[in-house]
Amino acid sequence: MHLTNDRYTLGGVDMLSLVEEFGSPLYVYDAATIERQYKRLDTAFAGIEHHIKYACKALTNVNILRFVRQIGAGLDTVSLNELQLGLKAGFEANDIVYTPNNVSFDEVKEAIALGAQLNLDNLPMLEKLGQAYGGSVPVSVRINPHIMAGGNEKISTGHINSKFGISITQVDDIVRVAEKYGLDIAGLHMHTGSEIVDTDIFLQGAQILMEAGRRFKTIRFFDFGGGFKVPYKADDKETNIEELGSRLSALCHEEMKQRGSNFYICLEPGKYLVSEAGMLLARVNVVKQTPATTFAGVDTGLNHLIRPMFYKAYHDITNLSNPHGAVRPFSVAGYICETDNFAWERDIADIREGDVLAFHNAGAYGMMMASNYNSRPRPAEVFIVNGKAHLIRRRETLEDLLRTQILLDMSA
């Protein structure tokens, strides 16, 4: 976002004009930022054959998926619907990874029929795969390396108490099942969590994964997941992608010497690609002074952006309508009948009724975790491509809320 002639722009488009045209609240995504992030990651890992699979649970609007495919990424999916959305967006099935968790085997069979790359994370499912398909379906196995990464248990998925993956202590059991059914273990996978800034922790997990891979002669790739941290405010920490790319590439080449065979690697960025590309724009309904604070009440809430309440996530807030206003503390709160504070005593340019605020880093897990709580409709979405704003999802209406409800004949 840039301030030019006292107006904030994103991707060359005036942001206040977007609210005037499409209303508020409004999700806005910038294609150029997504492409910048992809190219940075792609360049960082130039030292080794790598495949970048966008973790689409971060944002699955089909237009975003089409753009991600256009710039060269594959897809990482966690549900059958995500897989099918990927196919509708034009991805080839063999360029889509399907990594389910606690699903039925019927869903796994459907994914196999669609031709996706299978990545399973529990022993009972591997057994069922072997019983039904033998070694005819290549499979990757998700390993839990027992590493705490990402800061807390809500965003860390590789620690010992996590529901994800097969414990690193159970590799013998994976070998047993693989040998019993002649499974084709094509790769090993890990995802240790989100917000990883310590390169050493990431490399520790990679080393554990590759050592486990020595038990399987059919390995063609290692999938190291994602979780790369992006900055949320000025001077915030972020993953040093260039350092990680250089060090991980070197570690993999050493492992290839050990194995006496080559492999490629996969990376699964989600938030890294789309977080900074997204903004949630909201209008201020009321400015309310209390003995404790000054509230700026906006026309959105946890129904549209739950991350601050669910994860205690920080989102920078800019007053688009008053760029040069005197900075003073405001508590920004939503319009939901719950405590849905986005920020408490945050220094923001003076907020007035009717001003438009921009919530930064809203591209990942914003719209995707939105709901109709309090019977509020979900926002519209706009995608800025080559300096032009495109509506890619219309705002919901009351009719949309009623569409799947079936009215009973109460007189019967």
Q: How far apart are CA 388 and CA 152, in angstroms?
A: 39
**Spatial separation of the C-alpha atoms in residues 330 and 342, rounded to whole Å:** 10
* Contact partners, residue 310, CB within 8 Å, separation at least 6: 154, 302, 369
Residue type, 326: A
Give the C-alpha separation, 47 to 227, whole Å: 20
Q: Which helix (H) or strand (E) holds 294?
A: strand 294-298
- Strand 7-10 relative to strand 341-349: parallel, antiparallel, unpaired? unpaired
Cα(159)–Cα(164) distance, integer angstroms: 9
Angle (nearest 5°) at CA 151 between 208 and 265: 35
Q: How far apart (Å, rounded) are the C-alpha atoms in residues 217 and 184?
A: 9
Residue 314 CB burial class (10 angstroms; 0-12, 13-18, ≥19): middle
Strand partners, 264: 221
3-state secondary structure of 385: strand
Among 56, 252, 266, 337, the one annotated catalytic = 337
Q: Which of 83, 94, 135 is nearest to 117 (CA)?
A: 94
Pure H helices in 218-279: 241-259, 271-274
Residue 217: how many other CB atoms lie within 10 Å: 9
Q: Which residues of 78-169 form beta strands (DSSP E)?
A: 96-98, 117-120, 139-144, 166-167
Active site residue 337: yes
**Active-site residues: which are they?**
337
